[in-house]
Amino acid sequence: MDVQAYAKINLGLRVTAKRADGYHDIETIFQTISLHDTLTFTSAERLTLTCDAPGIPTDERNLVLRAARAAGAPPVAIALQKRIPAGGGLGGGSSDAAATLRALGCEDANVALQLGSDVPFFLVGGTAYATGRGERLVPLPSLAGVPLILVFPPERVGTARAYAMLRRFSPPLGLERVRAMIDDDLLGYATELINDFEEPIFAALPHLATIKTRLYELGAAWAGMSGSGSTIVGAFRDGGDRDAALAALGNGNAVAAATTAATRS
């Protein structure tokens, strides 16, 4: 059985408070996109994981194995074909975990949350308003079909490091405001779709800010960093504008074209 595990982007990410348990409260719009990994499940004598990407652990450090055990997996061999860059703020590991849970017949959000804060989203997919640690989800009207450019800088910013670098918290927009923005034209509210991680991370890695600026210069309606980075995303009004911008970026950047997707892992 082959299962696709779709990446996500964050259309804005506000860190609203630090909690007594050490976690942070956030507000974001999660959106699945067409970029995906593929997991192949084959009957076997014991549970194993292989991966085609160098540097990806295939032992208990990998959420796929932990998800398989949490789902009470029968003996299966899992082959992971990676296309989502690791550590880029696109949720690849969490999506792989959610895809594994679903493939093995477990769609329990509590089990998913034990694996990671955004794993429950990948059981739902599509477009969702997220608060808490990212696990409190409200489905939103679909934003499928928006053309995207993903730029993958070589640097990776660990989530723990990103939170340690935070300089401020932002007030939440609130669900009703987000719904109104989507009903009108979400991409027309780019100035409100802020990511609180950008200020400190751009200060440490200023060329990321340059990439964001360049995407706007090339016609992006909205551009920003996904999650805690380091992937920079540009959203365009139509595919022609996106393709022209992609060509103009040249060969100096690792880039990919994608679209928003109304799907789950």
Q: What are phi and psi of 101, to 5 degrees?
A: -60, -45
Each as own residue / partner, the long-range contacts of residues 106-110 (CB below 8 Å, 24 or more positions apart, any chain) are 106/70, 106/71, 106/72, 109/135
**Residue 16 and residue 25 in contact, taking contact as beta carbons nearer than 8 Å:** yes
How far apart (Å, rounded) are the C-alpha atoms in residues 138 and 127? 9
How far apart (Å, rounded) are the C-alpha atoms in residues 233 and 189? 16
**Residue 11 and residue 28 in contact, taking contact as beta carbons nearer than 8 Å:** yes
SS3 content of the chain, % helix, strand, coil (to 5): 35, 30, 35
- Active-site residue numbers? 8, 118
Task: Using the Cα atoms of residue 25, residue 173, residue 36 and residue 126 in order, give the sign of their dihedral.
Answer: positive
Give me the amino acid identity at 199. E
Query: Which residues, in sequence order, are CB contacts of 122 under 8 Å at separation 6+?
Result: 5, 6, 8, 32, 91, 94, 95, 97, 98, 99, 112, 264, 265
The full length of the chain comes to 265
Give me the amino acid identity at 53. A
